[in-house]
Amino acid sequence: MKMRFPLLASLLALLAAGPAVAADSLRDQAKGLFQPIPETPPQLPGEPTTPAKLKLGKMLYFDPRISESHELSCSACHDLGMGGGDSRASSIARGWQLAGRKSQTVLNAVFNKTLFFDGRASDLKDQVLRSVTAFPGAMQKTRGGPTIFNPAESNPAKTHAVEFLKGVPGYVDAFKKAFPDEADPITYDNAARAIAVFETTLITPDAPFDRWLKGDDAALDDSQKQGLKLFMDKGCSNCHNGVNIGGASFARFGLVHNPGPDILPTDDWGRFAVTKNVADKYVFRVQELRNVELNAPYFHSGHVWDLKKAVEVMADAQLGVQLSDDEAGKIADFLKSLTGRQPQVTLPLMPPMVATTPRPQP
Ligand code: HEC
Ligand code: HEC
């Protein structure tokens, strides 16, 4: 008899707390795997952000004239009004040549542990150096590698970029301000440093999922919460985790089932091109899933245009799991909650050319 009241009381308390407990345990499970995007841009190690560097980096990001043909800026393939990619199955490089891989988003790239689908760049500056050298369309198709982005040391694109920048008075001034301690600040390396600093500002905080992680229950609807649960319980989060829900590790595409040559073309061997290790054939950087709704088509081949279909492909290829239509739909709904506040970028004014500025190469 004595026990009756305390028991009843705790039972009632438990009942009252029921749904809250469930929500909290889902959040606890999620907090162990994912972190929100920070509100303020991070600093690159050893590369302090200054207003002058940021201003220069933004101009260079948007300026097609640093490419040899004056056709291709970073923004041509990484459109900030379109999720930071180019919405094509394959990017188009100089002379309409196909790059052979889809453009990865630049948004939140600063939080990825390695860059590119094969992880061949380890930080943003390294990545920029390799992208700029891609401009000339000196397209070298390597066996098992992508068609572009093979930096050649004496690349004419590098020479053009530097000579062009030296030939524009506005850029001479902007480099002096961005690198005030250097006698000869217009170098290819410094251009990459400035662009990398600009890229750190291209982050997308405040996604519904992040608001929910921080405690706002109403930020996700029921379908999205169930999708999140499935995402964790089925094993997606074994690979897609951390601040970018991916971007931190490598995995073989087709770990359990080969998705077939249309989705996984046989001539792109992914990470193998970097390590030459046979075990790395068809291994790719786990793609980040932040803003994934904005980044169709999916996979390095860009051959899947529908997010729900991409979810089904992943479940089968990576986990050997057949999702029901309802489950795939819920996971896709959850993935849509990863769309954050897009950077509001005012277009920079690029400094004018003068009579002696080097001309584009045909
Ligand atoms: C011709 C189109 C094109 C141009 C121009 C281009 N990119 Fe890319 N970018 C791509 C493609 C395609 C990939 C994926 C390449 C791969 O994995 O081999 C990529 C990958 C990246 C990544 C890696 C993202 C990640 O998650 O790992 C970053 C960052 C990036 N580009 C930034 C830039 C910057 C900065 C510039 C300008 C200096 C630039 N890109 C110019 C097409 C382009
Ligand atoms: C064993 C690791 C692994 C697991 C498990 C995994 N993925 Fe992936 N995921 C990857 C890799 C690697 C890629 C990049 C493949 C490529 O582009 O070729 C990727 C790419 C994706 C993409 C395409 C993103 C884009 O922008 O192109 C989506 C969507 C995705 N995964 C969702 C999921 C979902 C949902 C699950 C669970 C059903 C899942 N993944 C399970 C490794 C994994």
Distance in Å, CA 220 to ligand 1 centroid: 32
Report the alpha-carbon distance of residue 38 to residue 20 in Å, rounded: 26
Atom 34 of ligand 1, nearest CA residue: 74
Report the alpha-carbon distance of residue 233 to residue 66 in Å, rounded: 47
Q: Smallest Cα–Cα separation from 164: which of 54, 58, 74, 67? A: 67
Report the alpha-carbon distance of residue 75 to residue 345 in Å, rounded: 12
pLDDT averaged over 10-residue windows placed end to end, the chain, 362 residues? 48 46 85 97 90 96 88 89 92 74 91 83 70 42 42 61 95 98 93 91 98 97 98 98 96 96 90 87 95 97 96 98 98 98 96 95 76
Report the alpha-carbon distance of residue 351 to residue 354 in Å, rounded: 10
Report the alpha-carbon distance of residue 108 to residue 223 in Å, rounded: 26
Torsion angle of the four alpha carbons 330, 334, 337, 339, in this order, in degrees rounded to the nearest 10: -100
Distance in Å, CA 335 to ligand 2 centroid: 12
CB 171 within 8 A of CB 194: no
Distance in Å, CA 182 to ligand 1 centroid: 28
Question: Of the residues 103, 107, 203, 295, which should be mutated to test ligand 1's pocket, given the most ligand atoms within 8 Å of the CB?
Answer: 103
**Nearest-ligand number for the alpha carbon of 249:** 2
How high is the pLDDT of residue 129?
A: 64
Report the alpha-carbon distance of residue 109 to residue 86 in Å, rounded: 15
Find the angle CA(263)-CA(268)-CA(269) to the nearest 5 degrees. 110
Distance in Å, CA 116 to ligand 1 centroid: 7
Report the alpha-carbon distance of residue 110 to residue 49 in Å, rounded: 13
Terminal-residue alpha carbon distance, the chain: 94
Report the alpha-carbon distance of residue 314 to residue 253 in Å, rounded: 9
Report the alpha-carbon distance of residue 83 to residue 69 in Å, rounded: 25
Report the alpha-carbon distance of residue 70 to residue 240 in Å, rounded: 38
- Per the omega criterion (within 30 degrees of 0), is the bond before 297 cis? yes
- How many CA within 13 A on the CB side of residue 274? 18
Torsion angle of the four alpha carbons 199, 67, 53, 35, in this order, in degrees rounded to the nearest 10: 10
Torsion angle of the four alpha carbons 299, 300, 301, 307, in this order, in degrees rounded to the nearest 10: 20
- How many CA within 13 A on the CB side of residue 358? 20
* Side chain identity at residue 41, one-letter code: P
Token code pair at residue 201: 């500002």
Distance in Å, CA 263 to ligand 1 centroid: 20
Report the alpha-carbon distance of residue 257 to residue 314 in Å, rounded: 10
Distance in Å, CA 307 to ligand 2 centroid: 11
How high is the pLDDT of residue 128?
A: 67
253 in contact with ligand 2, CB cutoff 6 A: yes
328 in contact with ligand 2, CB cutoff 6 A: no
Q: Which residues contact 133 (CB under 8 A, 6 or more apart)?
A: 149, 151, 152, 155, 157, 158
CB 60 within 8 A of CB 355: no
Atom 32 of ligand 2, nearest CA residue: 311
Question: How many Cβ atoms are within 10 Å of 111's Cβ, its own excluded?
Answer: 20
How high is the pLDDT of residue 152?
A: 38
CB crowding 145-154: b at 16 or more within 10 Å, else e: bbbbbbbeee
Distance in Å, CA 103 to ligand 1 centroid: 6
Atom 39 of ligand 1, nearest CA residue: 74
Question: Of the residues 70, 78, 102, 112, which should be mutated to test ligand 1's pocket, given the most ligand atoms within 8 Å of the CB?
Answer: 78
- Residues with Cβ within 6 A of ligand 1? 72, 74, 76-78, 91, 93, 99, 101, 103-104, 106, 109, 112, 115-118, 127-128, 131-132, 146, 149, 195, 199
